[in-house]
Amino acid sequence: MNNPTLKEIASQLGISITTVSKALKGYADVSPLTKKAVINLAKQLNYTPNSFAVNLRTKESKTIGLIIPTLVHDFFSIVIKGVLAEAEKRDYLVIILQSNEKLAFEKKQIELLLNKRVDGILMSLSNETDDFKHLNTIISHGTPLVLFDKIAKLVNCSKVSINDRKAAYDAVCYLINKGYKKIAHFRGSYTPQNSIDRFLGYKKALEDNNIQYDSSLVYLCDHNADFQDGYENAKKVIAEHPEIDAIFAITDLVAFGIIKYFNETGISIPNQIAVLGFSNWFMSSIVTPKLSTINQPGFEIGKQSAIILFDEIKLKRHNAPIVFKSIEIETHIIEREST
Amino acid sequence: MNNPTLKEIASQLGISITTVSKALKGYADVSPLTKKAVINLAKQLNYTPNSFAVNLRTKESKTIGLIIPTLVHDFFSIVIKGVLAEAEKRDYLVIILQSNEKLAFEKKQIELLLNKRVDGILMSLSNETDDFKHLNTIISHGTPLVLFDKIAKLVNCSKVSINDRKAAYDAVCYLINKGYKKIAHFRGSYTPQNSIDRFLGYKKALEDNNIQYDSSLVYLCDHNADFQDGYENAKKVIAEHPEIDAIFAITDLVAFGIIKYFNETGISIPNQIAVLGFSNWFMSSIVTPKLSTINQPGFEIGKQSAIILFDEIKLKRHNAPIVFKSIEIETHIIEREST
DNA sequence: TTGTAAGCGTTATCAT
DNA sequence: ATGATAACGCTTACAA
């Protein structure tokens, strides 16, 4: 119920608090005898250091913050897993917050974490985020920050992501090589860098293969690229451009919407129209037809981000200079039945 | 970079720390003039109270811990959303930890949270958990604990769950009413209460409808009830009991495995064999055929659990007696194409 | 080898 | 209305 303190151990043993503290922390200048006594009593009383006091003294919380756009999401939940795995190794705890894809929330969450004085922050930006003052607040506050997945290239901190542009480029080249010629793109909203990059990759691939880029074949997913976006845009594209033979979707979830609509309306995948997703959600191998997609190694992204963050936290503690890193995790195409 | 303190404000204003503290906390015994001066300077310096010091003084962390078996999981990620929503309202932060369905991890995570002196703990037990000493540690430590979803009926604390037994009973009755007679059950492992309860509901429904319970129609999902479990058991049941006309699966994920196998082998759902899931995962309405299932309101479960926990934290702070609650959230059958 | 004392930044009690 | 002082529990120079 009430936690024992160094003071209690000290008084029970008739020695000073200092000696108890030293004994428990394995300092050399404690006689083996007292050391043993202290450790025994501590164990017996079930002593654990009061983290509040330790935090206050050391100015470290052994806690990091993680802000993600949304939790109920295959990719992000796997990222979290990767982060937790690294945190665990270092006895760090992770406070998880959602931005719900809203800039306003994102700002608020940052404030909460900064007030809590977490040792570092890991975050993936919301789709709305188009200015970065709040991120600079973190930086000027001296709190290490690592951006992952949905990053802002202009912000001066470490970043972990995939090369969305290249991944999309390769994906569309792959479609072209398979013989598809009239390829639509269901793109994400205009602010997130990865949405922009995937679009640019798509466009470049067409151009490099001498296919005229046609902006009317690009459909916007403005519901945060969800299932509904895919479904609605599939309906639209069929009405407006029945001649297309493939769709490259910004993410698997959108692709699932497309598949649903095509299955309902009897459009055959991939014979009539091929569908290519992005991210390799768990469900991609289960839907009918199984979705071809690009893997986006969430665990690795979470893991690497955390490793970099913990490195920077350590460097900062030692007042060592920090060199920001920008890491790109490799991706590849997973060919299934939909292309 | 370096955070301003009460001391700094006090010295800049030439008044005492006490007065600054009082002014900032809106105490009545501060003159309006000094109050205004303090607040202005605080704002200007961007003062935020040092949470470490506050924690130490108040013995509260304004943080709760959440331990779940696994993060990459439709149901649990929605639960988290519900918890975060309530925490946010109260300016509480949430530390999330996974047990990975392992008792050993569960114990470790509890220790971490207790050492961190969180104000309360929310948890869903791992499938392995079959003794509850570690839970009693939390309780005897005086930290409020609320169990949700995978609960232990014997542990003396508040609980939030669905009535798994009734839900399963209703589900199987529904199948029987639709004319299915030879109903197999793919059950979860033997320890989790909800796995036991769903099985008991299944059995009771058969008996109440004068259908002989046949233990050979019950298949164990021992991979934590995942996709593979469904797939493998589907294969097995077809080999051993081709005469069945329906399967009641412990969870949608298992049902997806069944559907996959049946789709691959040309077994028609629901004509040849019906499939009923549990939990209403997002994907259930997307797979082909769309899966009939039971909704399991994760958001509500998370929300209610958090509300109860925060209530208990408050009561404890006021040294008021705590009466444990056991709440059951309503469920219902969602009929789609697979039954 | 052991202990004293100051300090981390806040809050609460009690004087003034 | 304001402030001095102690206390929360720990760490760490610095003495002894």
Tell whether B288 is covered by a domain: yes
Q: Which residues of chain A have pLDDT under 50?
A: none
**Which of B81, B140, B260 has the CB atom closest to A1's CB atom?**
B140
**Residues A170 and A287 grouped into a single domain:** yes
CA atoms lying within 13 Å on the CB side of residue A40: 8
Interface residue of A76, A116, A319 to substitute, partner B, most B CBs within 10 Å = A116
Q: Residue window 188-217, chain B: list those with CB within 8 Å of chain A.
A: none
Whether B28 and B137 map to the same domain: the answer is no
pLDDT tens string B8-57: 999 999 999 999 999 998 888 888 999 999 999 999 999 999 999 999 99
Identify the pLDDT of residue B211.
97
The verdict on A218 and A180 lying in the same domain is yes
Which stretches of chain B score pLDDT less than 50?
Answer: none
Q: Is A136 exposed, middle or buried (0-12, 13-18, 19+ CB in 10 A)?
A: middle
Tell me which of A5, A84, A93, A290 to substitute to probe the interface with B (most B C-beta atoms closer than 10 Å). Answer: A93
List chain B residues with CB under 8 Å of A141.
1
Same domain, A104 and A123: yes
CA A325 from chain center: how many Å? 16
Same domain membership, residue B259 and residue B178: yes
Query: Considering its fold, how many domains does chain B have in total?
Result: 3
* Residue found under tokens 């009545």: B28
* Interchain pair B114, A283: CB under 8 A: no
Same domain, A214 and A282: yes
The per-residue pLDDT for B1 is 60
pTM of the shown model: 0.94
- B188 and B303 both lie in a single domain: no
Looking at residue A58, its pLDDT comes to: 93
Window B:72-131, CB contacts with A under 8 Å:
72-74, 77-78, 80-81, 84, 91, 93-98, 112, 114-117
CATH number for the domain harbouring residue B133: 3.40.50.2300
- DSSP track, B149-167: SS--TTSSSEEEEE-HHHH
Domain-located, residue A91:
yes
Q: For position A29, what pLDDT does the model report? A: 85
Distance CA A304, CA A79 (A): 10
Sequence-distant (≥ 6) Cβ neighbours of residue B156 within 8 angstroms? B136, B139, B324
Query: Could you tell me if B237 and B174 lie in one domain?
Result: yes
A290/A319 same-domain check: no
Q: Could you tell me if B156 and B185 lie in one domain?
A: no
A52 interfaces chain B, CB cutoff of 8 Å: yes
Residues A106 and A188 in one domain: no
pLDDT of residue A1: 61
Q: Is B339 within a domain?
A: no
CB-based burial label for A90 (10 Å; 0-12, 13-18, 19+): middle
What CATH number has the domain bearing residue A25? 1.10.260.40
Domain with B35 in it: 6-49
Instruction: Give the tens place of pLDDT for each residue, A34-85.
Output: 999 999 999 999 999 999 999 999 999 999 999 999 999 999 999 999 999 9
Whether A286 and A175 map to the same domain: the answer is: yes
Task: Provide, as residue numbers in chain A, all residues whose Cβ is less than 8 Å from the Cβ of B143.
Answer: none
The DSSP result for B95-145, as a single string, is: EEEE-TT-HHHHHHHHHHHHHTT-SEEEE---TT----HHHHHHHHTT--E
Strand C: which bases are under 7 Å from protein Cβ?
A: 1-5, 7-13
- The reply to whether A1 falls in a domain is no
